[in-house]
Structure 1
Amino acid sequence: MPISPDDIRIHTRPTVRTARYAVLGTGPAEAQRVWFVLHGYGQIVPRFLRHFEGVVPEDCCIVAPEGLSRFYIDMPRSDGAHLQRVGAGWMTREAREDDIHDTMRWLDELYADIMQQSPHAAVGVLAFSQGVATATRWIAQGRVRPRAFVAWAGGVAHDVDAQAMTTALQDTDVTLVSGDQDQFVSDDTRAAMLSSLQAWQPAATSVVFAGAHHLERTVLGPLLARLSGPESAARDR
């Protein structure tokens, strides 16, 4: 007798697993600025942080959490060559809510650990591509309240609470960044992304650079440096 979908009963159970993150720049205890940076689809943090080479301010700590789902990027090949390149992602449509919950918990735990070492630092969130949706969920649902938020070439999550985002971003410098040759961001898409951000923070601005779907150092460096230091951050609290 064939098995019908009703015959298969799916259960879930929380488990413990090891997540990883990378730190670049000064250590959290000495940092005046802490940027949490979320990678895009199919990236892992060592490769993602190569784009930050030479543009991190001296008083800045870059913290890059890695998505909990790692996988081989290339299609299977008989010689096993597809086992060379590994990527990571934040979630898929399968067991979506569980992935979101696990990711929010992971980001909040990391945030608490880092900020315990650097309680007076100004905090920024920068997210690239698929990481933008995860970042907006984190800002809406999690513990982070950034002084600056950079959404780089990615769409915001459409399932976040609008009022929660408006409250979280009311004092935040919000910037949308994308390349003029980005294959995933047309002019219409860029306008829609900016409109979504401005619905939460009316002062959100857009930066368009000459390039494709990547982090551009000439834009990235000034954005990292624009995050206010601890004195002004404390004044604004």
Structure 2
Amino acid sequence: MNDMPDGPRLVTRRTQRTARYAVLGVPVESAQCIWFVLHGYGQLATRFIRKFAGAIPANTCVVAPEALSRFYAEMPRVDGGHLQRVGATWMTREAREDDIADTLSWLDLVYRDVTSQASPAVRVGVLGFSQGVATATRWIASGAVRPTAFVAWAGRPAHDVPDALLAAALANAVVTFACGDADEFLNAQQQRDVVDMLQRVQPHATMASFSGGHQLDGPLLSSLLTLP
């Protein structure tokens, strides 16, 4: 009689790893406002945060955590050219719940690390771009951060976050959905749907648009980074 299993057994274990975040603007110690900004799919923290250059208010520090899973952003090529561009992703559908838990732990660590160096009176904002919007809403709903302002830029809130949790976390926050009028991933109806989602949890949520596609816009970004 053969007692061997028919297929492989998958064993899951937690492990430590090294992660990183990028910082731009005034030093954390002297900042009156800190923005935690979460990049989109296939981006890296250093590339993403460069888009904020020139748009950061004088009293503000911007912190961009990088997602834990990096990958080569192009298909393999014989000449090795695919090795030139690296991106990162917050999660995939594979081991999804593990990725979400690891990401939330990582963002909590970044938050503690940064705010421990800041004034107790510092104001905090959270901005998510594209895929980073879903991650941002999961993080906010988890309770670790209570932002003064939240910007969902060209992305949808996570569908698995209970409205009640997000509503409690954003009860006193200025909430804005920002998107280009020619965004290739969100048409006009989908943009209205996102606004409706946000207004379910924060009735005063508003929309800010600009002329352009799936990208950040400097002038609009500058206005949204100015915390009340």
- Say if 2:74 and 2:85, in contact at 8 Å, map to a contact too: yes
Q: CA deviation at 1:72?
A: 0.3
Letter of the 2:193 partner, please give it.
A
For residue 33 of structure 1, what is the aligned residue in structure 2? 33
For residue 152 of structure 2, what is the aligned residue in structure 1? 151
Offset from partner CA, 1:37-82 (integer Å, 9 cap, x none) = 0000000011101211111111100000000000000111000000
SS of residue matched to 1:10: coil
- Distance (Å, rounded) in 2 between the aligned partners of 1:177 and 1:40: 14
For residue 87 of structure 2, what is the aligned residue in structure 1? 87
SS of residue matched to 1:103: helix
Match runs of 1:25-104 below 5 Å = 25-104=25-104
SS of residue matched to 1:8: coil
- Say if 2:130 and 2:156, in contact at 8 Å, map to a contact too: yes
Q: CA deviation at 1:142?
A: 3.9
SS of residue matched to 1:207: strand
Q: CA deviation at 1:9?
A: 1.5
For residue 233 of structure 1, what is the aligned residue in structure 2? none
For residue 201 of structure 2, what is the aligned residue in structure 1? 200
Identity of aligned residues (%): 57
SS of residue matched to 1:133: helix
Unaligned runs of at least 5 residues, structure 1: 229-237
- Distance (Å, rounded) in 2 between the aligned partners of 1:61 and 1:50: 13
Alignment pair present for 1:170 and 2:185? no
For residue 132 of structure 1, what is the aligned residue in structure 2? 133
Q: CA deviation at 1:97?
A: 0.2
Letter of the 2:160 partner, please give it.
D
Q: CA deviation at 1:122?
A: 0.3
Q: CA deviation at 1:11?
A: 1.3
- Say if 1:108 and 1:142, in contact at 8 Å, map to a contact too: no
- Distance (Å, rounded) in 1 between the aligned partners of 2:183 and 2:163: 27
- Distance (Å, rounded) in 1 between the aligned partners of 2:205 and 2:94: 33
- Distance (Å, rounded) in 2 between the aligned partners of 1:49 and 1:201: 27
- Say if 1:67 and 1:89, in contact at 8 Å, map to a contact too: yes
- Distance (Å, rounded) in 2 between the aligned partners of 1:201 and 1:9: 45
- Say if 1:41 and 1:90, in contact at 8 Å, map to a contact too: yes
- Say if 2:143 and 2:169, in contact at 8 Å, map to a contact too: no
Q: CA deviation at 1:27?
A: 1.1
Q: CA deviation at 1:6?
A: 5.6
Q: TM-score, normalised by structure 2?
A: 0.96
- Distance (Å, rounded) in 2 between the aligned partners of 1:94 and 1:184: 23
For residue 162 of structure 2, what is the aligned residue in structure 1? 161
Summarize the Cα distance change of 1:6–1:173 in structure 2 as closer, same or farther, 3 Å threshold.
farther
Q: CA RMSD in A?
A: 1.0
- Say if 2:38 and 2:66, in contact at 8 Å, map to a contact too: yes
SS of residue matched to 2:127: strand
- Distance (Å, rounded) in 2 between the aligned partners of 1:41 and 1:14: 24
Give aligned pairs, total.
223
- Distance (Å, rounded) in 1 between the aligned partners of 2:147 and 2:12: 33
Q: CA deviation at 1:89?
A: 0.7
Runs of 4 or more off by more than 4 Å in structure 1? none
Letter of the 2:185 partner, please give it.
F
- Say if 1:104 and 1:142, in contact at 8 Å, map to a contact too: no
Alignment pair present for 1:11 and 2:11? yes
